[in-house]
């Protein structure tokens, strides 16, 4: 029986085809350079952020203490307060998402190449969506609080603003990828532009858009749990207060409640999305 | 013809009924939510004046001129802000790199084709926990544990990045071709060697793509870390908003948005090169 591995044959193969197996020297040096730069930047960042072994150990010990103090999770007498705040959070997420979708849809239609002909209007809208999208929900919450005062109302508006940008982009991309053949069919039978949109485009994009809105509702329940940190309503306000006052058992209860609710919403929403047949946006 | 039409009518009627029912349920949910959070449209309309005046003050300097007319005055704090912005970028970068490393180490343990069921279960629950708790909550806790400053922000981003990338990486790893792995195992290679020579070459470009996309998200995440004292430009923004330094708010926002745009363009370019080269 011959050996499985024949060193001689291997060497021959390498000498014949070696150049194909190896990266070019230039390419290799290039990659090494990038890696070295990335590593140097990482070290610089760690120093800038004042990382140190002593600090890590001290912090980890304190985290361990917190973890011990968190057990068992216990809401004390505030159970009702926390549950109500959680419902607030869900309400903020729902209203914010829907308001964003309602306002974003008509503008997204105008921002779509296959529906609206004037390019600079589309360009302007696209950039506006990007601008709004570039700002975090929490920043919007901070701004809306200054404009309308503290409370869930500011939270709804912040959620709606942040999602408005995201929806505008997503919806218009969805509309642009719609199949043009139904539209042409309607045009060939003498349909108006409005009819082309209503019967040619809308039936194609509606399920996808509904799926996207649901997906955002899902992710917004997560964001809505934190906007309270700046005072925009919901469970976040209690959570940040509890952390600052070191009420660890309450903290662990609230975090656990958030995790359970988010998981439940995820479950329901992914079921619904499957029913609608919409896709998950990337 | 008639039975066909009847069947069609029946099918359509059922679909319409279902649609109407879902619309009704959604409407009830909306009504309840609006009542619960005391969302008052009339209040919004009545306050529209003060809201728009707030936003118009954002684009006016103290002198009353529009911000664009005097960029030097608008960006009077450019040097300290750009430093803070640099810190924000650095927090995002370090958090992303550490998170990628963490997710990278854990994804092989969470992948069903490479790991035993017990390891997998624990790793997956851990990753789930890391990505479901919002990063700002981690930041709040880390500020207490590690002290104020960017370190808490970096660690919070790291944990969150590890959780979400760990999951995405796992999905990539689970979709690989297993034949090279079998080849290495049958030639007597160890688990680590099979990862290095059979798995890694297949997944690396996918991991790099997700890592890059994550960096962009983490920049936005690190821009708010300052709200809880975890470093970055968020602190300046919070102070400006709270103290009603209107033009400062808009200036800082512009800087953040421009950075996001630049990152957006750079990542898109890099991704293109990556997909062309890989």
Residue B176 pLDDT = 85
Give the whole-number percent of chain B exceeding pLDDT 90.
18
Q: Is it the case that residue B113 has pLDDT exceeding 50? A: yes
Residue spans of the domains in chain B: they are 2-57, 77-277
Domain hosting residue A192, numbered range = 79-276
Provide the terminal-to-terminal Cα distance of chain A, rounded to the nearest Å: 54
Q: Pick the residue with more confidence: A278 or B144?
A: B144
- Chain B residues touching A48 at Cβ < 8 A: 87, 90, 150
A2, part of any domain: no
Residues A112 and A42 in one domain: no
Specify the CATH superfamily of domain B77-277. MetI-like (1.10.3720.10)
Residues A125 and A247 in one domain: yes
pLDDT tens-digit series, residues B251-278: 999 899 899 889 988 988 888 887 765 4
Residues A125 and A186 in one domain: yes
- Would the CB atoms of B151 and A50 count as touching at under 8 Å? yes
**Of A70, A88, A104, at which residue does a domain stop?**
A70
Q: Name which of A59, A88, A142 is nearest B36 (Cβ-Cβ).
A: A88
pLDDT tens-digit series, residues B73-103: 888 888 889 999 999 999 999 999 999 999 9
Residues A83 and A41 in one domain: no
Residue A278 pLDDT = 46
pLDDT tens-digit series, residues A94-128: 999 999 999 999 999 888 887 777 888 888 888 88
Per the structure, the count of domains in chain A is: 2
- Would the CB atoms of A259 and B149 count as touching at under 8 Å? no
Q: What is the CA radius of gyration of chain A?
A: 27
- Would the CB atoms of A259 and B132 count as touching at under 8 Å? yes
Q: Is it the case that residue B185 has pLDDT exceeding 80? A: yes
Residues A159 and A87 in one domain: yes
Residues A39 and A91 in one domain: no
Report, as an integer, the average pLDDT of A70-80: 82
pLDDT tens-digit series, residues A202-243: 888 888 888 888 888 888 888 888 888 888 888 888 888 888
Taking a contact as any Cβ pair under 8 Å apart, which residues of chain B between 251 and 270 contact chain A? 253, 256-257, 260-261, 264
Residue B48 pLDDT = 82
pLDDT tens-digit series, residues B127-144: 988 988 888 999 999 999
Least confident residue range of A2-11, A265-274, B35-44, B104-113:
A2-11
Residues A90 and A51 in one domain: no
Q: The CATH number of the domain where A259 resides is what?
A: 1.10.3720.10
Top residue of B145, B154, B185, B213 to mutate, by most chain A CBs within 10 Å, is B145
- Would the CB atoms of A92 and B151 count as touching at under 8 Å? no
- Would the CB atoms of B94 and A49 count as touching at under 8 Å? yes
Taking a contact as any Cβ pair under 8 Å apart, which residues of chain B between 156 and 185 contact chain A? none
| Cβ-count burial A69-90 (b if 16+ within 10 Å, e if not) | ebeeeebeebeeebeebbbbbb
| Cβ-count burial A115-131 (b if 16+ within 10 Å, e if not) | beeeeeebeebeeebbb
Top residue of B19, B29, B39 to mutate, by most chain A CBs within 10 Å, is B39
**Of A41, A70, A99, at which residue does a domain stop?**
A70
**Short-list A224, A254, A249, A227, CA closest to A239:** A254
- Would the CB atoms of B134 and A222 count as touching at under 8 Å? yes
Spatial distance between the Cα atoms of A251 and A82, rounded to a whole number of angstroms: 11
Residue B115 pLDDT = 75
**Of A20, A44, A70, at which residue does a domain stop?**
A70
pLDDT tens-digit series, residues B30-47: 888 888 877 777 777 887
Residue B277 pLDDT = 57
CA closest to B97 among chain A residues = A42
Residues A93 and A199 in one domain: yes
A261, part of any domain: yes
CA closest to A156 among chain B residues = B39
Residues A171 and A153 in one domain: yes
């Amino acid at each position: 029986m011959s050996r499985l591995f024949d060193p001689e044959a291997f060497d021959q193969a390498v000498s014949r085809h070696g150049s194909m197996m190896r990266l070019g020297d230039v390419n290799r040096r290039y990659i090494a350079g990038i890696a070295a730069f990335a590593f140097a930047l990482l070290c610089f960042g760690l120093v800038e952020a004042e990382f140190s072994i002593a600090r890590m150990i001290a912090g980890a010990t304190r985290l361990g203490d917190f973890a011990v103090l968190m057990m068992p999770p216990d809401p004390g007498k505030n159970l009702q307060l926390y549950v109500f705040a959680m419902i607030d959070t869900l309400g903020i997420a729902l209203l914010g998402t829907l308001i964003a979708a309602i306002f974003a849809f008509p503008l997204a239609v105008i921002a779509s190449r296959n529906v609206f002909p004037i390019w600079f209007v589309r360009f302007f809208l696209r950039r506006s969506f990007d601008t709004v999208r570039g700002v975090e929900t929490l920043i919007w919450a901070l701004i809306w609080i200054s404009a309308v005062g503290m409370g869930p109302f500011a939270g709804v508006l912040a959620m709606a603003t942040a999602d408005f940008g995201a929806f505008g982009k997503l919806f218009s991309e969805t509309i642009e990828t719609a199949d043009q053949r139904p539209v042409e069919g309607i045009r060939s039978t003498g349909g108006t532009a409005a009819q082309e949109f209503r019967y040619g485009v809308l039936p194609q994009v509606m399920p996808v858009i509904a799926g996207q809105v649901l997906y955002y509702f899902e992710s917004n329940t997560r964001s809505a749990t934190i906007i309270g940190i700046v005072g925009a309503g919901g469970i976040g306000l209690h959570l940040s207060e509890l952390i600052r006052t070191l009420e660890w058992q309450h903290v662990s209860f609230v975090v656990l409640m958030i995790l359970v609710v988010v998981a439940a919403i995820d479950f329901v929403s992914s079921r619904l999305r499957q029913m609608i047949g919409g896709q998950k946006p990337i | 013809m008639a039975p066909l039409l009847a069947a069609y009518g029946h099918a359509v009627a059922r679909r319409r009924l279902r649609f109407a029912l879902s619309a009704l349920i959604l409407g009830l949910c909306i009504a309840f939510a609006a009542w619960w959070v005391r969302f008052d449209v009339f209040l919004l309309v009545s306050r529209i004046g003060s809201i728009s005046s707030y936003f118009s003050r954002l684009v006016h300097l103290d002198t009353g001129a529009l911000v664009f007319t005097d960029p030097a005055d608008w960006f009077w704090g450019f040097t300290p802000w750009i430093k803070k912005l640099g810190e924000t970028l650095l927090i995002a970068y370090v958090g992303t790199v550490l998170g990628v490393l963490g997710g990278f180490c854990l994804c092989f343990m969470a992948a069903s084709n490479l790991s035993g069921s017990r390891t997998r279960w624990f790793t997956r629950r851990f990753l789930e926990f890391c990505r479901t708790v919002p990063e700002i909550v981690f930041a709040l806790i880390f500020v207490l544990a590690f002290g104020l400053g960017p370190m808490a922000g970096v660690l919070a981003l790291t944990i969150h990045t590890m959780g979400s990338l760990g999951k995405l990486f796992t999905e990539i790893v689970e979709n690989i071709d297993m034949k090279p792995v079998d080849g290495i195992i049958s030639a007597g290679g160890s688990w680590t060697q099979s990862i290095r020579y059979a798995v890694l070459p297949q997944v690396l470009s996918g991991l790099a793509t997700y890592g890059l996309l994550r960096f962009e998200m983490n920049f936005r995440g690190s821009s708010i870390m300052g709200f809880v004292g975890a470093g970055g430009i968020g602190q300046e923004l919070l102070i400006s908003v709270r103290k009603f330094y209107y033009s400062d708010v808009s200036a800082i926002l512009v800087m953040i948005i421009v950075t996001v745009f630049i990152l957006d363009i750079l990542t898109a370019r890099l991704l293109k090169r990556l997909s062309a080269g890989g």
